[in-house]
Structure 1
Amino acid sequence: MDNQSLSHSKYNCTYHIVFIPKYRRKVMYGKLQAEVGQILGKVCKMEGVTIIKAATMTDHVHMYVSI
């Protein structure tokens, strides 16, 4: 990812975020899996966060984002 810049600085701020249900239960299948992806996409868009990579598994969600 390229560095972004302000008037006196350059930065590259990325985060690896993992969401895990309580007790890592395997609850995200089919429709719920798609809804979770859409909701997280909308929230990131509203907050100005760029999703570089994202994956929804049955028991967790991985996101690699840039702010």
Structure 2
Amino acid sequence: MSTEQESPVDSPLKLKIEHRAYEIWVGEGSPNGCDLEHWLRAEAEVTSAEPESKLALKSAAAAKKAS
């Protein structure tokens, strides 16, 4: 049993970053020793896209309420 506790708010974001970092790693031929670089690049990509996706969700919810 793990003693680490993940915040429910951070968990989906962490999973998105992990998935994107994996995609980057595979796309570069699975090199050893680049994990931090891939993580930071994935984190930057995912977090820069987050506000846009949140706005899209809010817009969709507002449109749904209006109809």
Q: TM-score range by the shorter chain?
A: 0.3 to 0.5
Higher helix proportion (structure 1 or 2): 2
Higher strand proportion (structure 1 or 2): 1
Higher relative contact order (CA 8 A, sep 6+): 1
User: Highest CA radius of gyration, 1 or 2?
Assistant: 2
